[in-house]
Structure 1
């Protein structure tokens, strides 16, 4: 998986550069330097977590498949079997994605992907570090039906890579495709905090699931991106821990143990008795300017240089990660997190 990402990453970066140039030419630049580096930092962190949590990436799936598969082998061979695996993966991913918006504990893992207040191709690479760990059980029905582990992993890559192109403001409505597939228009809705758009359009490839299960909404008004409570930080570790800290605050704020225990399992917006709301009223949130405080020029240049060095070192690590021991990979992951924290600290220096 890591090697595939390394092969395709240059293509993603070229497409991001093309989107940036197109936006500049059209007078609608959707990129911000600090935001882009923040999103790419989360992508690197997610790859690091994938390396150090192989049990939750494919190990659990492989164990279930080897012991409990009902239809192993023949049904999943050939192009038809591969296509069926992608459709099944997308269906399972719909329910994981929907759960991640309806359960506070799952939202805590997923929120990272929504924290950017921009919407561009770099947002697609803003992957969650703990999402695949939390979501591993959702794909076990595929193992029970006998989809081979390698085919499951390939289907996951197809679904993940498909979603790259739908993170853009430069592609409008696409007619009948908007009724069948997850398209940029449909996915802009998903990333918006407008009240009419919240928790809609979960499909990764197919938006048909949303139409079948009542979670589809068309794009009808300009989108305001981000989370209801903005992150307001370039610290990548703070981004990962933001909503976990919020859940802890809510649990501490209520005296009843029953309410404390309900907090992780209620909706992300549920407030227990005694806990004051932490988010702005939605009207104020929609009119709030994007978080983009001015940063000293030297600090920005240093942040870019440190990020490039960290990313290059990460690429080398990912290439050899399968041949390294657990201790070496954990050490490399810690070094990566430290480097990315440094990038965030530089971007936070006031002008």
Structure 2
């Protein structure tokens, strides 16, 4: 099996981080005034996430692989998805018909402490009627199982080898084809990266990369672990037009390797190439939480996609890095999972199918705004 180019590049990544750290030592600033400076706990968290991202595909394949083969595991998950969806719909109807919602029967007082703990950051009421609680939890299972069915089926149907085997076109091996693969991957990446910021389900995976309040080369290695649990425009579209899977995988590696060097504050500008290429300056904007920087500069190698599709923003003010609401943790497990947990909890608290699916499919901004509105209404 051919070794991934990103793995071969690991020594280069480490060497570049050491060089960046040495540059910072030679160009000291007042402590706390340069977000690009290394902080031990933050760097260890980023490196842990990077190592985890190398292992995650193997774990994911072991756990989710059977779901894509339409065997017993897949049928069981499909049954759960259909059954819980039907049950939630029926419970919604019953709950609306029962205006007292069992509350006057005293049943609502069960498990008060557990409910308070589970919903403390999302809902103000200390106690929910038991039927609403049951409906919410069954509904969350319905949404989660359905999403997992869709993600695994989509991944199986759009695998590069499978798509290439179905097309009569084969462009062969040449420098032109390799270049086409890199440009094609870069174009598809722009849209996937843009959707990462515009669809909550995809953001739950991608926000891991934005979770550091530092901005240095180690931040580039802070990669997600849940790629297979969401949807993407398939890069196998390149296989459909005759690009061999090997070229597609090399294009992926080149794309990732290029993105490494743009995570730095040491390089301020590269001159005229800023007009065409994605650079540290452009990508600092992408990582900024400044209002004018949100959801801007999604390109990977080329910045021209952002200029063509209206998402480009030049660097003017100093970016403030991190999330709009930071999670204040260096625990890799929490970094990787907190948005998924929040999303599941919010779906559990939703009372309509529109809200349940909106927490996945609408923008992160909508979800956070909806959370704030519910808290304000219950206060």
Question: Structure 1 length as normaliser, TM-score?
Answer: 0.73
The equivalent of 1:16 in structure 2 is: 17
The equivalent of 1:63 in structure 2 is: 162
The equivalent of 1:268 in structure 2 is: 364
1:170 Cα shift? 0.6
Asked if 1:177 corresponds to 2:178, the answer is: no
1:247 to 320, 323, 343: 343
Change (3 A) 1:100 1:237: same
Q: In the comparison of the two structures, how many residue pairs are matched?
A: 276
Instruction: Give the alignment's Cα RMSD to 1 decimal.
Output: 2.4
2:41 to 13, 22, 34: 34
Kept after mapping to 1: 8 A contact 2:188/2:235: yes
1:58 Cα shift? 11
The equivalent of 2:203 in structure 1 is: 107
Kept after mapping to 2: 8 A contact 1:229/1:278: no
Change (3 A) 1:25 1:58: farther
Distance (Å, rounded) in 2 between the aligned partners of 1:89 and 1:258: 34
Q: What SS does structure 1 have at the residue aligned with 2:327?
A: coil
Kept after mapping to 2: 8 A contact 1:85/1:152: yes
Distance (Å, rounded) in 2 between the aligned partners of 1:57 and 1:92: 19
Deviations 1:181-204 (A, max 9, x none): 100000000011000000000000
2:52 to 35, 39, 45: 45
The equivalent of 1:237 in structure 2 is: 333
Kept after mapping to 1: 8 A contact 2:296/2:312: yes
Asked if 1:72 corresponds to 2:73, the answer is: no
Worse-superposed segment, 44-53 or 163-172: 44-53
Change (3 A) 1:47 1:258: same
Distance (Å, rounded) in 1 between the aligned partners of 2:341 and 2:192: 22
The equivalent of 1:90 in structure 2 is: 186
Correspondence 1:258-297 to 2 at 5 A: 258-271=354-367, 275-276=371-372
1:2 Cα shift? 5.6
1:11 Cα shift? 1.6
Distance (Å, rounded) in 2 between the aligned partners of 1:58 and 1:274: 34
Distance (Å, rounded) in 1 between the aligned partners of 2:269 and 2:373: 36
Worse-superposed segment, 52-61 or 227-236: 52-61
Gaps of 5+ in 1: 280-351
Distance (Å, rounded) in 2 between the aligned partners of 1:109 and 1:95: 15
Deviations 1:53-89 (A, max 9, x none): 467599811111111x252134xx2111111110000
Distance (Å, rounded) in 2 between the aligned partners of 1:165 and 1:175: 16
Distance (Å, rounded) in 2 between the aligned partners of 1:109 and 1:45: 13
Change (3 A) 1:178 1:131: farther
The equivalent of 1:293 in structure 2 is: none
Question: Structure 2 length as normaliser, TM-score?
Answer: 0.68
Distance (Å, rounded) in 2 between the aligned partners of 1:220 and 1:272: 27
Kept after mapping to 2: 8 A contact 1:58/1:149: no
Gaps of 5+ in 2: 30-35, 66-154
Q: What SS does structure 1 have at the residue aligned with 2:260?
A: coil
The equivalent of 2:118 in structure 1 is: none
The equivalent of 2:101 in structure 1 is: none
Asked if 1:224 corresponds to 2:320, the answer is: yes
Change (3 A) 1:170 1:278: farther
Kept after mapping to 2: 8 A contact 1:95/1:138: no
Kept after mapping to 1: 8 A contact 2:201/2:230: no
The equivalent of 1:188 in structure 2 is: 284
Change (3 A) 1:132 1:217: farther
